[in-house]
Amino acid sequence: MHLKTILNKCNKFKSFVYSDIHYKDGNEGQVIEIDINPRRNSRAVCSGCHKPGPTYDTMRESRRFEFIPFWGVSFYFRYRMRRVGCTDCGVKVEEVPRGTGKMS
């Protein structure tokens, strides 16, 4: 069974898809990075008012989100954040489901 299949069964995000998986063995130890892309025709959700809106632009670099480590391997999701052109809030970074609970 492929890692993408396992992730889709256990941790499916409605408006995002898993694309490439990279394995690294370096200073951080064993690391698996999973690239996530927005699903085609999905609208980004405003982080301010939680309403879907049109995409304003996308970050050039990916942002890493830590996932649950298992088998002694660290897992990270890599995602290029979109900005939403919200009619109520203006331009805001999109809300992502894997980013909840990370605020202090």
Q: Where are the domains of the chain?
A: 13-97
Q: Is residue 2 pLDDT above 80, yes or no? A: yes
Q: Could you report the per-residue pLDDT of 60-104, keeping only the tens digit for each?
A: 998 888 888 888 889 898 999 889 988 888 899 888 876 555 543
Q: Is residue 1 pLDDT above 60, yes or no? A: no
pTM of the model: 0.77
Q: Could you report the per-residue pLDDT of 11-61, keeping only the tens digit for each?
A: 777 778 888 999 988 787 899 999 998 888 888 888 888 888 888 888 899
What pLDDT, on the 0 to 100 scale, is given for residue 5? 81
DSSP result, the chain: --HHHHHHHHS--TTEEEEEEEEEEETTEEEEEEEEEEPTTPPEEBTTT--EE-EEEE-SS-EEEEEEEETTEEEEEEE--EEEEETTTEEEEBP-GGGTT---
